[in-house]
Amino acid sequence: MSLDQIPRSAYTADHEAFRQTVRRFLQDEIEPNGAKWAEDGIVPKSVWPKAGALGMLCPTVPEEYGGLGLDFGYNAIVDEESAYNGRVATGFSLQSDIVVNYLVSYGSEEQKRTWLPKLVSGEVVTAIAMTEPGTGSDLQGMRTTAKKDGNHYVLNGSKTYITNGQNADLILVCCKTDTAIEPAWKGVSILLVEATREGFRRGRNLDKIGQDEADTSELFFDDVRVPITNCLGEEGKGFIYLMSELPQERLSIAVSAQASAQRAFDDTVAFTRERKAFGKPILDFQNTRFTLADLKTKLQVGWAHLDWALARHLRKELTPEEGAAAKLWHTELQWEVMDKCLQLHGGAGYMNEYAIARAWRGARVTRIFGGTNEIMKELIGRKL
Amino acid sequence: MSLDQIPRSAYTADHEAFRQTVRRFLQDEIEPNGAKWAEDGIVPKSVWPKAGALGMLCPTVPEEYGGLGLDFGYNAIVDEESAYNGRVATGFSLQSDIVVNYLVSYGSEEQKRTWLPKLVSGEVVTAIAMTEPGTGSDLQGMRTTAKKDGNHYVLNGSKTYITNGQNADLILVCCKTDTAIEPAWKGVSILLVEATREGFRRGRNLDKIGQDEADTSELFFDDVRVPITNCLGEEGKGFIYLMSELPQERLSIAVSAQASAQRAFDDTVAFTRERKAFGKPILDFQNTRFTLADLKTKLQVGWAHLDWALARHLRKELTPEEGAAAKLWHTELQWEVMDKCLQLHGGAGYMNEYAIARAWRGARVTRIFGGTNEIMKELIGRKL
Amino acid sequence: MSLDQIPRSAYTADHEAFRQTVRRFLQDEIEPNGAKWAEDGIVPKSVWPKAGALGMLCPTVPEEYGGLGLDFGYNAIVDEESAYNGRVATGFSLQSDIVVNYLVSYGSEEQKRTWLPKLVSGEVVTAIAMTEPGTGSDLQGMRTTAKKDGNHYVLNGSKTYITNGQNADLILVCCKTDTAIEPAWKGVSILLVEATREGFRRGRNLDKIGQDEADTSELFFDDVRVPITNCLGEEGKGFIYLMSELPQERLSIAVSAQASAQRAFDDTVAFTRERKAFGKPILDFQNTRFTLADLKTKLQVGWAHLDWALARHLRKELTPEEGAAAKLWHTELQWEVMDKCLQLHGGAGYMNEYAIARAWRGARVTRIFGGTNEIMKELIGRKL
Amino acid sequence: MSLDQIPRSAYTADHEAFRQTVRRFLQDEIEPNGAKWAEDGIVPKSVWPKAGALGMLCPTVPEEYGGLGLDFGYNAIVDEESAYNGRVATGFSLQSDIVVNYLVSYGSEEQKRTWLPKLVSGEVVTAIAMTEPGTGSDLQGMRTTAKKDGNHYVLNGSKTYITNGQNADLILVCCKTDTAIEPAWKGVSILLVEATREGFRRGRNLDKIGQDEADTSELFFDDVRVPITNCLGEEGKGFIYLMSELPQERLSIAVSAQASAQRAFDDTVAFTRERKAFGKPILDFQNTRFTLADLKTKLQVGWAHLDWALARHLRKELTPEEGAAAKLWHTELQWEVMDKCLQLHGGAGYMNEYAIARAWRGARVTRIFGGTNEIMKELIGRKL
Ligand SMILES: Cc1cc2nc3c(=O)[nH]c(=O)nc-3n(C[C@H](O)[C@H](O)[C@H](O)COP(=O)(O)OP(=O)(O)OC[C@H]3O[C@@H](n4cnc5c(N)ncnc54)[C@H](O)[C@@H]3O)c2cc1C
Ligand SMILES: Cc1cc2nc3c(=O)[nH]c(=O)nc-3n(C[C@H](O)[C@H](O)[C@H](O)COP(=O)(O)OP(=O)(O)OC[C@H]3O[C@@H](n4cnc5c(N)ncnc54)[C@H](O)[C@@H]3O)c2cc1C
Ligand SMILES: Cc1cc2nc3c(=O)[nH]c(=O)nc-3n(C[C@H](O)[C@H](O)[C@H](O)COP(=O)(O)OP(=O)(O)OC[C@H]3O[C@@H](n4cnc5c(N)ncnc54)[C@H](O)[C@@H]3O)c2cc1C
Ligand SMILES: Cc1cc2nc3c(=O)[nH]c(=O)nc-3n(C[C@H](O)[C@H](O)[C@H](O)COP(=O)(O)OP(=O)(O)OC[C@H]3O[C@@H](n4cnc5c(N)ncnc54)[C@H](O)[C@@H]3O)c2cc1C
C-alpha cells in the first residue's frame, strides 16, 4: 500500500509528483537512520539541508525570500508521507507548517531577509516556545517576561516541552512585554531569540513516551538581552498572531494523524493476513474483520474530510473552529486506529521492534499538543 | 438554522433552487399533517401526486418515460430536506432512490412505459419485498417461490417489514424461481406484482418503535398468478440486480441520516440555549458545550464525507464497499447525535411531543434496515 | 433463565422465598394484562390492593403502622422481579422505595397513622411532585409556592412528569414556603396534598417514548388550601429531606436497571440461538458471541456491585455519592445492554410486539429521571 | 490516599496486617531502586530473597514445603500493593500466583521438595514458557517438541515473550511430547527445565512499550536433555493443567489492574487539584470533574466485583468464565482509567518522569497477556 492509492481530491498532478520526491527522500535518508536517531533522541542537523535542497522545507515561502512560493498542499504532502513513513517526528513540519508563517506574515523586511532563506535551505532550525512549566493551555498565564532596557529587551523565564529545543538555532519566544495590562493577552509579544545569545540555556532533552527521535526540551532564559528589532511584528500583538496561525498548525496535525493512522491500518491488514492462529489467518476471525472494516470506514471518512479541509484552507476559508475540529477529530481517529491495531498484533504489539508499537507511542501526544483536545472542544463550544 | 447554511460542494445552483421547492412543499403539505399521519401510522396516498407534480418523485427517470432526467443529487436534496424537516418516513425515498432504479436499469420497454410515468407522477406507490419472517440479512435463504405454470408464475410465500406495504400498488417481489440450483443465489428473481392480483393479501401495518407515519407491513402471497412478462430483467438474475442497486440505497440512507442528525443538533443547541438550570442556560455547562462541540465536529466531518460520496456516486465511482461504509458511518453518527441530544433535553426528551423524541425513535431503525450495520462490516471486511 | 440462577450474596433464604411470591403475582396478575395497560397508558388501581395483600407494597413500614417491618432487601426483590418480568413501570416502586420513606422518617404520628396502613395495603396510591415545567435538575429553582393563610397553606403552581400522576390519591408536593430566604433551599417544604382538594387538577397523561403502562402527568395547583398539619416534618426542611432519601431512590433505580438488563440479555441469547442466517444460528457469528460475552461480563460485574451496594445500604453505610454512582453505572449498563441486544434482533428489534423493543424504549428514561446522569456526575465530582 | 481506605470485604485483619508489611517493603526496597531497574530492564535477583524473607513469595505453599500455607488473599495483597506502588512488574506475581501452583498441584513429591522451598525463599526464580514466535493464543499450535530418548526428553524449539526470562533459574516449558496425536492438545506436556542445562540459551531481553523493569525474553532450546522425572504430572496432560490454572492467573491480573487504576486515579485527582489553568485548578472544570466522577464510579464498581471474585475464588467457586470475565473487565477498566488520567495531565502525561506515563505504558500489556481480551470473549462466548 501507499498513500497515492487513496482517491483524493485536494491535490494536483504537481503535488503528486512532489510526493514521489518526498517519498524517495524518506526512504533513502530517513528510514535507514531512524532507529539510530530514535535511540539518540534527536535527528542530526545535517539532515535538514538535504531536505531543504529538495524543496521539502517551508515550500510556501515566497520566491523573493529564497522559497518556492507554493501552496500549503506541498506542506501537507510532506506531512502525509513522513507520517506514513512512520518516522513522524523530524521537526520539519514544525518549521514548515508553523514557525515560518510567523515570519512570513509578521516579520519585518529585515527579519525575512535574514531568516527565511535559511529556514528554506535547512541551514537554520527553529522552534517556537509558548509552553512553560506552569502553563500550557492557558497562554495568557505565561510568566516569561521581556523588560525593555534601552534598545534591548531583557528576557527572563523558562519554557518546556519545546520541539526542536536541542537543535534550534532560532527560537520564537512568547513572553510578556507588559505584565500589568488588562486584558492580559495584550501584554504578549513574540521575540526572535538566537540560540547564541548569552543567558540562553537548553535544559534536558526530555524523556518521552514516544516520538523518540524528536528532541523536546526545556529552555531557560536568564537576563537574555535581545535587540528591540527582534520583536516579531508589533509589541503586544503576540497573542493575536498566535491565534491567527493556529488553524494551520491544527490542520497540519490533522494531516499527519490521518496518514499515520492509515499506515497503522495498512500494516495491520498485512500482519493479520500473515499471522495465523487456530489454523487460519487472524484476519479471518470475524472480530478482526469487523474491527478493521470499522477502521477502514473511518479512514475513508477521514480522507474525505481532510481533502475538504485542505481545499478550504487553500481558499483561505477554513475557520478556526473548523481547524480545531479537524485537529480534534483526526487525532481521536488516529488514536482509535493505533490502539485497535496494536491489539490485533497480540504480544508483538507491545514490542518496540514492531512499527505499530512505536507509532502507537508516538500517536499519544497528538491529543495533547497543538492545544489539547479539551481546548479544541472549548473553542468549538464557545461558538455554538 | 437550515441546511443551506452548511458549506457544501456536491450541489449546483439548480440543486439548491430545487431545495427551496422541496422545503416549501414539506412546510405546506407535510408538516401540518405529520402528527395526524403519525397517529394513523400511514401517509395518505393523496399526498403522492402533489409531490410528483413538483418533480420530487423519481427525478432521475429519463424524459422519455415521463421523468426529468436529472441526477441523483436531486434525490439527495429531497432526502436531506425531508430528514431535516423531521417527518422522515414518507416512503418517497424508497420509490425514488431504490425501486425506480430496478425498472430503469432492468425493466423491459413495456414495463418502463407502463410504470415509470406513474412512479414519477405519484399515481402509483411501490414497494420492494425482500425480507421474510425467516430471513433478512441472508437473502439467499428466502423461501418465497415462483413456480412456472404455462406463461405464468405461481407465487407463494410471505414477506415482512415491507415499507409502503399498505399503500403499495406495485410490489417488486424477490423470490426463488429455482430452489434447487447451486449456488442458491442463482435461483433468485424479481417479479412485478400488482396489488390487485388475486391471492395477494396485506397483513398488519406493523407497530414500530418509530417512523410512526411509515406503513410497514407483512405481505402474503397465496398462489398468486403473475404473467411471465412481469419478471424483471432475466430470470435468475435477481440477486445480481439487488447487489447492483444497493450502493445507491445505502447512500440514500446515509444522506437522510446525516440530515436528521443535523436537525437534532440544531434543535438541541436552541433548546439548551433557552432552557435554564442553576441560574444559567444548560448550554453554559461545560459538559453540554463539550458534548455539542464534539457532535458539531462529527457533523462537519460527515458533510464533507457525504459530499465526497455524492460526487463519487454521480461520477459512478462509488464502490459497493464505499457505499456500505457510508451507510455504516452516517447511521452510527446519527444515533450518537440523537441519543446525546435527547439526553440534553432532560425529561422533555422522553416525551413524544418533543421532536427529539420522535427523531430518536425514528433513527433507531437505520442501523438495521438497508442491510444491518453488521452486514456492512461483513461486506467491507471481505474486501480487505 | 430466571434471576435466582445468579450467584448473589445480598439475600437471605427469606428474601428468596418472597421472590417466588412476587414472581407468581407478576405472572398471574401483571403479565396477562400488561399489553392492555400499556395501550391504556395506565395500570388500574384495582391491582394495588392485590399487591398489598401479598406484602409487596412498602415492606419496610413498621408493624405498628400496618407494615411488615422488613428490610429494603424485600423492596429490591420486588424491583428485580418486576424489572425482569418486563412490565417495569407499575409505580409500585415509587411508593415502596421512595414516597413511603418520607412518611416513615419525617411524618407526624397522625400522618403516619392516617397514611401508612393504606400505602401498605394499596388502598392509597401516592406520588411525589418535585419537577416543574421550568425546573427539574435544579430543585431550588422551583416556583410552586405555599403561602400561609391562617392554619392553611395556599398552594399555587404546576408540576410535570409526575409518576402515578393520574392514579395518585395523595401527593407529596415540594414547594416554596419561603421565596425570599437565602440560600434558596431553606425555603423548600413538602406538603401532603390529597387529590380530593379543591383547586387541584390533573393534566394530561403524557405520551412517552416508553414505560407505556406508567401514568406520568402534569399536575396543577390553583389556590389549593392545605392544612398546616399536612406539612411533612418541619417547614423549610424539605430540601434536606429530599437529599436524605435520594440514595435509596437511586439504589432502587439501579436494582431495576440491572434486572431489566439481565432480562434483555437472557432473551437475546435465546433469540440468537434460535434465529438463523447463512446456515447457522446468529449466536454462532463471532461478532454476536463477542458482543454477548462482553455484556455477560458487565452483568457479572453489575450483580457483584449491586450486592455490595445493597449490603451497604442495609447496614446504612451507603453514601450519597455511592448511591449516585450506582444509579449512574447501572443505568448506563442497562442502556448499553438494551441497545446492543435490540441490534442483535435485526428488524424484529424495531417492532413493538417484541419484548426487547418495549424494554429498550422503557429503559431510555433511567438515565434521566431520579436525577440525570449528568447530575450524578456532578454530585460525585463535587466530593473528589 | 492508600488502598486501605477503600471499603473492602475480601480481607481479614490478618490480610490487612500483611498489607502493611508489603507496603513497607515496597517503600524501602523497591521504590528507591525502581528507576534504576527500569533503566536496566531487569530487577536484580538479590531482591527476591528479601521478599521471600517477609513471606511475600508464594504464600500459599503448604508449610511442609517451606511455605506459610496461607490463602490466595495474601497473594492478592501483594499484587494490589505492588500495582498501587506503581513498579508493577517485579515478576513476583508470576512466581507466586501462577508458576508455583503447577508444582503444588501437579508436581511429584520430589519436585515439590526440591523446588517449593526455594520458590518461597526467593532463592530460585521461575518462568513459564508457553508462547512461541509462531503461536500465542493458540497453544495447541506450539512447535516446541520433546522427544523421548531413554530416560530423557530431548527438547527443541524456541519461546518468546517470557516473563522472568533473563532471571529464571527454573523454567516450566510447555511442549509437545506427541506431535501426531489427535486432538492436538493431548500431546502437550510441561517439563521442568533448569537454566543450567546444556543447549538452553536466553535470547534478547526484549525492548517493550512498558513494564521497563520486567525482563521479558526469548528462550532457545537446542537438543536440551531433560530427565523424564522432570515432566510435570503426567505426560500429555499439560494442556489440562494449563487450563486448570488459568482462572487464578486471570484473577491475579485483574487484581493488579484494578489497583494500578486506582493509583492513576488518585494521582490524577491530586494533580488536577494542584495544577491550575485559567485561574483555577484543572479539577474545577466540569469536564475534569465529570471524567473523574465517571472513573471513580467505575472503580467503586470494580472493587465490589473484585471482592466478589476473590471471595468466590477462595471458596473455589470461581468458574473459568468468571475468571476470564474478571481479567477482561478489570484490564479494560485499567486502560480507560490510564488513558483518561494521562490526558488530564496535559503535556506532563507524555513525559516518562511522571508516574502516569510509566503506568500508562505498563498497562497496555494487560489486555494482551494472560490470554488476549479477544480470547477472553471467545471463552465466555462459547459457554453462552
Ligand atoms: C511532545 C510535545 C511537544 C510539544 N511541543 C511544543 C512546542 O514546540 N512549543 C510549545 O510551546 N509547546 C509545546 N508543547 C506543549 C503543549 O502545547 C502543551 O503541553 C499543551 O498545550 C497542554 O498544556 P499543558 O501541558 O500545560 O497542560 P495543561 O494546560 O496544564 O492542561 C492539563 C489538563 O487540563 C485540561 N484543561 C486545561 N484547560 C481546560 C479547560 N478550560 N477546560 C477543560 N479542561 C482543561 C487539559 O486539556 C489537560 O487535560 C509540546 C508538548 C509535547 C508533549
Ligand atoms: C422499518 C423497517 C423497514 C423495512 N423495510 C423493508 C423493505 O421495504 N423491504 C425489505 O425487503 N425489507 C425491509 N426491512 C427489513 C430489513 O431490511 C431487515 O430487517 C434487515 O435486513 C435485517 O434482517 P433481519 O431482520 O432478518 O435480521 P437477521 O438477518 O435475522 O439478523 C439478526 C441479527 O444478526 C446479525 N447478523 C446477521 N448475519 C450476520 C453475520 N453474517 N455476521 C454477524 N452478524 C450477523 C444482524 O446484523 C442482526 O443483528 C425493513 C425493516 C424495518 C425495521
Ligand atoms: C418518565 C418520567 C417520570 C418522572 N417521574 C417524576 C416524579 O415522579 N416526580 C418528579 O418530581 N419528577 C419526575 N420526573 C422528572 C425527572 O426527575 C426530571 O426530568 C429530571 O430530574 C431532569 O430534570 P429536567 O427534565 O428539568 O431537565 P433539566 O434539569 O432541564 O436538564 C436538561 C439537561 O441539562 C443537564 N443539566 C442540568 N444541570 C446540569 C449541570 N449542572 N451540569 C451539566 N448538565 C446539567 C441535564 O442533565 C439534562 O441533560 C420524571 C421524568 C420522567 C421522564
Ligand atoms: C510483556 C509480556 C509478557 C508475557 N509473558 C509471558 C510468559 O511469561 N509466558 C508466556 O508463555 N507468554 C507470555 N506472554 C505472551 C502472551 O501470553 C501472548 O502474547 C498472548 O497470549 C497473545 O499471543 P500472541 O502474541 O501470539 O498473539 P496472537 O495469538 O498471534 O494474536 C494476534 C491477535 O489475534 C487475536 N486472536 C487470536 N485468536 C483469535 C480468535 N480465535 N478470535 C479472534 N481474535 C483472535 C488476538 O486477540 C490478537 O489480537 C507475554 C507477553 C507479553 C507482551
Which domains are present in chain C?
3-124 (1.10.540.10), 127-236 (2.40.110.10), 240-382 (1.20.140.10)
Is A354 an 8 Å CB contact of chain C? no
Residues with CB under 6 A from ligand 1: A 127-131, 135-137, 161-163, 208, 211, 216, 365, 368-369, 371-372, 374-375, 378; D 275, 277-278, 282, 285, 287-288, 343-344, 346-348, 350
Residue of D346, D360, D368 lying closest to A136 (CB–CB): D346
Give pLDDT, residue B77. 97
Beta strands in A145-187 (DSSP E): 145-149, 152-163, 170-176
Round the average pLDDT of chain B to a whole number and report it: 96
Chain D residue with minimum CA distance to C318: D7
Contact: D328, C294; criterion CB under 8 Å: yes
Contacts of C357 in chain B (CB under 8 A): 209
**What does the alpha-carbon distance between residue A54 and residue A227 come to, in Å, rounded to a whole number?**
34
Closest CA to B346 of C372, C361, C363, C89: C372
Under the phi-then-psi rule, with left for phi > 0, alpha for psi from -120 to 50, and beta for the rest, what region is D281? beta
Contacts of C312 in chain D (CB under 8 A): 7
- Checking if the pLDDT of D84 tops 80, the result is yes
Cα(C136) to ligand 3 centroid in Å equals 4
Distance from CA of D292 to the nearest CA of C (A): 7
B312 vs A: CB within 8 A: yes
Q: Which residues pair with D280 in a beta bridge?
A: D277
Beta strands A152-163 and D126-129, pairing class = unpaired
Catalytic residue (one of C109, C249, C317, C353):
C249
Neighbours of chain C (3+ CB pairs under 8 A): A, B, D
Predicted confidence at residue B275, as pLDDT, reads 98
Chain B residues inside the 8 Å CB shell of C351: 161, 206-209
Q: Name all chains with 3 or more CB-CB pairs below 8 Å to chain D.
A: A, B, C
pLDDT at A209 over 80: yes
Q: Which of D280, D286, D291, D340 to probe the B interface (max B CBs under 10 A)?
A: D286
Q: Is the dihedral of CA C68, C72, C74, C80 positive or negative?
A: positive
**pLDDT at residue B291 above 70?**
yes
> Which amino acid, B68?
L
**Cα B93 from Cα B116, distance rounded (Å):** 15
Rounded to whole angstroms, how far apart are CA atoms A19 and B173?
A: 51
CA-to-CA distance for B357 and B366, rounded, in angstroms? 16
In this predicted model, what pLDDT tens digit does every residue of D124-175 receive, in sequence order?
999 999 999 999 999 999 999 999 999 999 999 999 999 999 999 999 999 9
Length of chain B in residues, anyone? 384
The per-residue pLDDT string of chain C (384 residues; one tens digit each, 9 = 90 and over) reads: 789 899 999 999 999 999 999 999 999 999 999 999 999 999 999 999 999 999 999 999 999 999 999 999 999 999 999 999 987 567 899 999 999 999 999 999 999 999 999 999 999 999 999 999 999 999 999 999 999 999 999 999 999 999 999 999 999 999 999 999 999 999 999 999 999 999 999 999 999 999 999 999 999 999 999 999 999 999 999 999 999 998 899 999 999 999 999 999 999 999 999 999 999 999 999 999 999 999 999 999 999 999 999 999 999 999 999 999 999 999 999 999 999 999 999 999 999 999 999 999 999 999 999 999 999 999 999 999
Of chain B, the percentage scoring pLDDT greater than 90 comes to: 97
pLDDT band at D1 (very low <50, low <70, confident <90, very high): confident
Chain B residue with Cα closest to A307 = B304
**Which of B269, B293, B384 is opposite residue A292, by nearest beta carbon?**
B384
Is 80 exceeded by the pLDDT of residue B88? no
Predicted confidence (pLDDT) at residue A240 exceeds the cutoff of 90: yes
Distant-in-sequence, close-in-space partners of C372: CB < 8 Å, separation ≥ 6: B343, B346, C136, C137
Residue B1: its pLDDT value, please? 78
pLDDT the model gives residue D88: 59
Q: Please tell me the distance between residue D162's alpha carbon and the centre of ligand 4 in angstroms.
A: 11
Subunit contact A301:B301, Cβ cutoff 8 A: yes
**Which of C137, C212, C374 has the most B C-beta neighbours within 10 Å, making it the best mutation to test the interface with B?**
C374
> What is the rounded end-to-end Cα distance, in angstroms, of chain D?
40
C-beta neighbour count of C183 within 10 angstroms? 8
Is residue A1 very low, low, confident or very high in pLDDT (cuts 50, 70, 90)?
confident
By most ligand atoms within 8 Å of CB, the mutation choice from B267, B268, B276, B282 for ligand 3 is B282
Q: Confidence band (pLDDT; 50, 70, 90) for D246?
A: confident
| DSSP line for B49-69 | HHHHHTT-S-TTS-GGGTS--
D123 is catalytic: no
Looking at residue B157, its amino acid is: G
| B298 at A interface, C-beta within 8 A | yes
Q: In the predicted model, what is the mean pLDDT of residues B356-374?
A: 97
Label residue D87 by pLDDT band (50, 70, 90).
Answer: confident
Quote the pLDDT of residue B87: 73
pLDDT digit string, tens, across residues B235-283: 999 999 999 998 899 999 999 999 999 999 999 999 999 999 999 999 9
Give mean pLDDT, residues D79-85. 96
Nearest chain D residue to B290 by CA distance is D287
Distance in angstroms (rounded) separating the CA atoms of residues D311 and D313: 5
Q: How far is the CA of B341 from the centre of ligand 1 (A)?
A: 29
**Could you tell me how far CA B62 lies from the centroid of its own chain?**
21
Q: Starting from the CA of residue C253, give the closest ligand.
A: 3
| Residues in chain D closer than 8 A to C293 (CB atoms) | 376-381, 384
* Ligand 4 center from residue D204 Cα (angstroms): 19
The Å distance, Cα B156 to ligand 2 centre, comes to 21
Burial class of residue C279 in the structure, from the number of CB atoms within 10 Å of its CB (0-12 exposed, 13-18 middle, 19+ buried): exposed
User: Does the C-beta of B131 come closer than 6 Å to ligand 2?
Assistant: yes
C-alpha C202 to ligand 1 mean position (Å): 55
Of D135, D351, D364, the CB nearest to A208: D351
- Counting from 1 in the atom list of ligand 4, the atom nearest the Cα of A348 is 25
Write out the catalytic residue numbers of A.
249
From ligand 4's centre to the CA of B253, what distance in Å?
A: 40
Which residue of B282, B290, B291 to mutate against D (max D Cβ within 10 Å)? Answer: B290
Whether B368 lines ligand 2, by a CB cut-off of 6 Å, is yes
Strand-strand pairing, C276-277 and C280-281 = antiparallel
Ligand at minimal distance from the CA of B357 is 3
Distances from the Cα of D44 to the Cαs of D50, D88, D218, in angstroms? 11, 15, 19
Q: Do A141 and D278 touch (CB under 8 A)?
A: yes
Residue with CA at minimum distance from ligand 1 atom 46:
D346
pLDDT at A89: 62
Answer yes or no: is pLDDT of B12 > 80: yes
Per-residue model confidence (pLDDT) at position C88: 59
In degrees to the nearest 10, what's the CA dihedral of C92, C98, C104, C108?
Answer: -100
Q: Check if B137 contacts A (Cβ < 8 Å).
A: no
What are the Cα distances from residue C343, in Å, to B134, B369, C299? 17, 11, 18
Is pLDDT of D89 > 80? Answer: no
Dist CA B118 CA C246 (whole Å): 62
The answer to whether residues B112 and B181 touch, using CB atoms and an 8 Å cutoff, is no
**Average of pLDDT values for B42-52?**
96
Catalytic residue among D132, D249, D317, D378: D249
Which residues in chain A (178-237) have CB-CB distances under 8 A to chain D? 206-210
| D276 Ramachandran zone, left/alpha/beta (phi>0; psi -120 to 50) | beta
Q: Is D290 at the interface with chain B, CB within 8 A?
A: yes
Chain D positions in Cβ-Cβ contact with residue B286 (cut-off 8 Å): 285-287
CB environment D246-258: b (16+ within 10 A), e (fewer) = bbbbbbbbbbbbb
What is the predicted ipTM?
A: 0.98
Measured between CA atoms, how close is B333 to chain A, in angstroms?
Answer: 11
D302-318 tens-digit pLDDT: 999 999 999 999 999 99
Residue with cell 471499603: D7
- Residue B311 pLDDT more than 90? yes
Buried/exposed C60-81: b ≥16 CB within 10 Å, e otherwise = bbeeebbbbebbbbbbbbbbbb
Q: Does C308 touch chain A (CB under 8 A)?
A: no
Residues with Cβ within 8 Å of residue D109, at least 6 apart in sequence: none
Calculate helix-pair angle for A373-382, A320-344, nearest 10 degrees. 150
Alpha helices in C98-228 (DSSP H): 100-106, 109-121
